[in-house]
Amino acid sequence: MTYGGGKFVAVGHSGVVLASPDGIVWTLRSNNSSYYLAGITYAKGTFVAVGYGGVILTSPDGIVWTERAPNTSWALDTLLGITYGGGVFVAVGAFGRILSSSNGTIWTEVNYGTTFHAVTYGNNTFVAVGNGGTILTSSNGAEWTERASGATVNLLGVSYGNGTFVAVGENETILQSDPVTPSSNIPNITVMPSTTMNFGNVNVGSTSDGMIAVRNDGTGSLASISTVLEMTNGTTDLGEADDKLLVAEPRHGCWGVGKF
């Protein structure tokens, strides 16, 4: 789902497109497509949706849609995510397919060999995540660099906010750019009374010093953290911490992984 042009637009199975001016009242829109639509974004006065069969649809208003990509291979050309940033639309999908376009109409393809499930943009950087813990970054959507993630599971989503990228994946894996440093360099942390984001029964909330704290003890409640054990190979050593805490701090230049 995305928002643009004064309306929310959601896409889904069988080419379904729903539009709403307020998120409450929704209208079904026809796009003459039967494909499963997996992602949508809005920029430059245009909605762009992508999906199975390599389909790419564009619309100026969320009502009238135009197909922009040939459906040459249903399996190999599946597109799973799309974003916009820095003047460029970027879509990602199965078997390493990454497409970029300045206008949503003409697309250029590169291939990086593994399935990518999601892509986002922030801080002048695209980040795509996929199978086997793969993370790629790009400044322009065309040239990509692989980054060490410390994870081997499939990564299914990624987002940017508050100066950091956060990716999630299988086995309750959460990755954050700029992880914690060894405990000797970390001050005591207290969770602030802020709105939390629920991820299953794991809550993530902001803390002092720009950190986030996570606890999964069956209640999904946030925990106060006063000590953090050292990190080994990019993974927080939980040691004897019964509550299985993950702490990540957005100031340093690599990726960390936490498991619960």
Q: Is residue 259 part of a domain?
A: no
CATH of the domain at 104: 2.120.10.80
d(CA 34, CA 15): 5
**pLDDT-based confidence at 197, cuts 50/70/90?**
very low
d(CA 119, CA 87): 15
- Using an 8 Å Cβ cutoff, are 221 and 200 in contact? no
Q: Is residue 236 part of a domain?
A: no
Q: Is residue 203 part of a domain?
A: no
Q: Is residue 225 part of a domain?
A: no
* DSSP 8-state symbol, 171: G
Q: Is residue 189 part of a domain?
A: no
Determine the pLDDT at residue 256: 39
Q: Is residue 106 part of a domain?
A: yes
- pLDDT, tens digit (0-9, with 9 covering 90-100), for 198-237: 333 333 344 433 434 443 344 333 333 323 333 333 333 3
Owning domain of residue 97: 2-182
- Is the pLDDT at 246 greater than 70? The verdict is no
- pLDDT, tens digit (0-9, with 9 covering 90-100), for 28-84: 987 667 788 999 999 999 999 999 888 899 999 998 899 886 555 444 578 999 999
Q: Is residue 205 part of a domain?
A: no
Q: Is residue 244 part of a domain?
A: no
Number of domains into which the chain is organized: 1
d(CA 88, CA 110): 15
Output the pTM of the full model.
0.68
